[in-house]
Structure 1
Amino acid sequence: MTDIEAPGSAGTQQPRAEHEFTVRQRSQTQLVLRRFARHRAAMASLVVFVLILLWAFIGPHLWHYSYQKYTQDNSQAPSWKHPFGTNSSGYDAYAQVMRGTQTSLKIAIMIALGSTLVGAIWGAIAGFYRGVVDAVMMRVADLVLTLPLFAIALVISSRTGGSWYWIALVIAGLTWAYVSRVVRSAVLSLREKEFVEAARALGASDARIIFRHLLPNALGPIIVNATILVATGILTETALSFLGFGVQPPDTSLGLLVSQAQTAVDTRPWLFYIPGAFIIAIALTINFIGDGLRDAFDPRQQRVRQ
């Protein structure tokens, strides 16, 4: 007879699991970053945008020509000496495009920061208090939305001498209402959540609830709208400069470069198309980054766009 050992006897070995699974808890920030990293178009756009930023702000310190100084080469085609050619006055186009990109980005980023800051606070206060406060604040926002952006920007820009700082302030002052609408909608939903009730029960002030609880939880739509405003800002500045009411010489911007080169588009097309290509590249990369951030912050997204 064959001896059968009982289970658990000394001669037998207990089966061991081939794979051991561990669950690692991730924070909300890690989840957002992971979803954003899986968005290929957004990641590629982020790399391109960072390279443009570095090129525009660091490049002028390394390049041997200044955007303000003449060279001895007038109306030269692109070459190793002048990668983007020169204009009829002898300015190096490569240096001018770097300066123009820097100015346009400063305007766009300042517009995004100013509009987002004012709009987020305005919308959060309106959504939190509701009632009469909400009605009055939103009517003010509606009034701002009805103001003709280009007409007011043209008038004020013509009176401020085309300073990029004033251009950014004017456009930011006319675009914050869009952000306030979005933030108000988010706060109206968040103010009914349990964590707000808990904070109120613990004696938190209204200001603390708004700035420490509501605004951080509405950060997703705020960031997405900020990226959209960067693209909107650079296109608005380009339009103003193209019409002659934006940045004025001796300073320059991408819109001004396109405006100055429109008469030479047939004879020296590089002066027109190169700054135009940078405008398109910046607007596209910002839009893709905003698209990736929207998907990353939205927990209902089941599919990551490739």
Structure 2
Amino acid sequence: MSEHLSTVAAPTTRPVSTVKQRSQRELVLRRFLRHKAAVISLVLFIAIVLLAFVGGAVWRYGYADITPAASVPPSAEHPFGTDNLGHDTFAQVLRGTQRSIEIALLIALLAGLFGTLWGAFSGYYRGLTDSIMMRIADLVLTLPLLAVAAVLTRATSGSWWFVALVIAALQWAYVSRVVRGVVLSLREKEYVEASRALGATDRWIIFRHLIPNALGPIIVNVTILVAAAILVETALSFLGLGVQPPDTSLGLLVSEADTAVSTRPWLFYFPGAFIVLIALTINFIGDGLRDAFDPTQRKVRP
């Protein structure tokens, strides 16, 4: 019998295939990395930010320095040339990029924060509260942005933070509309009902459950708002109603070089190229984030 048992083959153990469950953060990151244009744009935008904030601090010329060379085309000494007073255009473009990015990020932060809170409270309470709050948002949306911003910034003497505050006050309604729509759907979820049944306050539900779960659309819209803010600030500075000398921004540089396009084109095209590059990269980043946070995209390649 022992011989018979010895001839029985031992059962083979097959490897059990396991599927690694990824967190939501990992899924979002992998979807974003699959968006090649968004990844390249993110690298370019980071490079622009580093160039503006770090490069401007170590560059041999300051944006307000006057050099002996006036109206010199691009060269090894002055990569972007100089203006008619001898200012190094490369230093001025770095300073203008720095100021424009600061204004755009401040606008996105203020408008995103206020718009998120406004939309979350409006969508959660619904009813009369929702109607009143959304009518106010609709009123802000109907205001002509450039015209109102031009009137409000005329008396500020070009204070960049006040320019950002005015533009943010006219841009928050876009974010609030998006957040309200998401919250209207989230407030009916089971975990919200359970939290309410356990005695959670409205403020706790809004800040602990609704806003965190609406973070994806919020991030996407705030990112797109950065690009819009860059263009609005550029338009105001081009009209002479934004940042004022001795400080500078990309829009102001383009405005000052408007009459020199045919004689000194480098004064116009270099800051203009930075405006286009910043706006394009941020828009591509926004597209990548929109795809990454899209809940319908469940499948991610390993």
Structure 1 segments of 4 or more deviating over 4 A? 6-11
Aligned to 2:242: 246
Aligned to 2:83: 87
**Are the structure 2 counterparts of residues 198 and 302 from structure 1 closer, same or farther at C-alpha, using a change threshold of 3 Å?**
closer
Q: Is the contact between residue 122 and residue 180 of structure 1 (CA under 8 Å) also seen in structure 2?
A: yes
Task: Supply the AA of the counterpart residue of 1:209.
Answer: I
Structure-2 separation of matches of 1:109 and 1:45: 17
Aligned to 2:211: 215
**Counterpart among 121, 140, 146 of residue 117 in structure 2:** 121
Task: Supply the AA of the counterpart residue of 1:221.
Answer: P
The Cα shift of 1:173 comes to 0.1
Structure 1, 273-282 or 295-304: larger mean CA deviation: 295-304
Which runs of 5 or more structure 1 residues have no equivalent in the other structure? 1-5
Q: How many residues align?
A: 299
**Residues 47-196 of structure 1 aligned to structure 2 (within 5 Å):** 47-196=43-192
Q: Is the contact between residue 42 and residue 285 of structure 1 (CA under 8 Å) also seen in structure 2?
A: yes
The Cα shift of 1:7 comes to 9.9
Structure 1 position 12 matched with structure 2 position 9: yes
Over aligned residues, Cα RMSD in angstroms? 1.7
Task: Supply the AA of the counterpart residue of 1:40.
Answer: K
Aligned to 1:277: 273
The Cα shift of 1:20 comes to 4.8
**Are the structure 2 counterparts of residues 303 and 79 from structure 1 closer, same or farther at C-alpha, using a change threshold of 3 Å?**
farther
Q: Percent identity among equivalent residues?
A: 65
The Cα shift of 1:146 comes to 1.3
Structure-1 separation of matches of 2:182 and 2:268: 43
Secondary structure (helix, strand or coil) at the match of 1:159 reads coil
Aligned to 1:3: none
Structure-1 separation of matches of 2:144 and 2:5: 84
Structure 1 position 255 matched with structure 2 position 251: yes
Structure-2 separation of matches of 1:36 and 1:278: 24
Secondary structure (helix, strand or coil) at the match of 1:249 reads coil
Structure-1 separation of matches of 2:24 and 2:4: 47
Deviations 1:153-183 (A, max 9, x none): 1112110001110110000000101111100
Taking structure 2 as the reference length, the TM-score comes to 0.95
Secondary structure (helix, strand or coil) at the match of 2:287 reads helix
**Counterpart among 279, 289, 296 of residue 293 in structure 1:** 289
**Are the structure 2 counterparts of residues 7 and 275 from structure 1 closer, same or farther at C-alpha, using a change threshold of 3 Å?**
farther
The Cα shift of 1:303 comes to 8.2
The Cα shift of 1:132 comes to 0.6
**Are the structure 2 counterparts of residues 199 and 70 from structure 1 closer, same or farther at C-alpha, using a change threshold of 3 Å?**
same
Q: Is the contact between residue 8 and residue 14 of structure 1 (CA under 8 Å) also seen in structure 2?
A: no
Task: Supply the AA of the counterpart residue of 1:252.
Answer: T
The Cα shift of 1:80 comes to 1.0
Secondary structure (helix, strand or coil) at the match of 2:150 reads helix
The Cα shift of 1:23 comes to 1.8
**Are the structure 2 counterparts of residues 132 and 289 from structure 1 closer, same or farther at C-alpha, using a change threshold of 3 Å?**
same
